[in-house]
Amino acid sequence: MAASQPQIETFTGTRITITTPHSFNDTIQKLYTEIGFPKNAAWPTIAASIKTFDESSKQAFIAATEKAVGAKGFMVFLELNHGTWLPLFNVGSGLQLKRIILGNPLIAITMLEHDLKAGLAVPVELLVRELGEGRGTELSYQLPSSLVVGASGDEKLLGA
C-alpha cells in the first residue's frame, strides 16, 4: 500500500498572554490549588475506569469528571517542567518555565462532536513563565476554538 500525500492546512490561531505581578511559585500554587496538583491528577484513574461504553459507564465518567474539576471547571492532566533542563543549554537564564496541560473532557466533547481534529487543541496547553527581576509571571495559551475553527472553518465550533 502506497503512502498517501500529506494534506497541509494553513490557519491562524489566537494566543492569549496574561502577565501577573505574582511570583512564579505563588502563581503555580494558586493554579494547582484550583485544578489539582500533577502528582494527584485524577485523569489517569478516570480514563482507566472506563470498562464498557454503556450509559452507566458514561454517567460514572461524567460524575468522576465533575468531582475532579475545580470550581472553574478544569483539572490538570500533565505538567512538563522545561525549567529543569533548559539550563543545560544556557537557555532561559535559569528562570522557571512549565507547560501545563489542563482541561475538562465534558467541555472538550462539545468541540470533538463537531470535529475529531479538535483533539489537537484540547486539552488546553498553558505555558507559565517566570519573568525574573521581580517582574512577575506570564501565562500564555492558545484559544482552542481559534485553532479548531481556523483549521476546519466550521463556525459551529466557535460556540462549543
Quick one: pLDDT at residue 48? 96
- CB-based contacts of 47: which residues, under 8 Å, 6+ apart? none
| 156: amino acid identity, one letter | K
Grid coordinates given for 132: 525574573
Q: What is the DSSP letter of 100?
A: E
Alpha carbon of 85 to those of 35, 89, 90: distances in Å? Answer: 25, 8, 9
Quick one: pLDDT at residue 151? 53
pTM: 0.86
Can you list the domains of the chain with their CATH numbers?
15-159 (3.30.310.70)
How long is the chain? 160
Quick one: pLDDT at residue 156? 57
- Residues of the chain predicted below pLDDT 70: 1, 149-160
Quick one: pLDDT at residue 153? 58
Element (H, E) at 78: strand 75-81
Quick one: pLDDT at residue 1? 64
Strands 15-20 and 124-130: unpaired
| Biggest distance spanned by C-alpha atoms of the chain | 58
Grid coordinates given for 69: 474539576
Quick one: pLDDT at residue 12? 87
Rounded distance between C-alpha atoms, residue 76 and residue 46, angstroms: 12
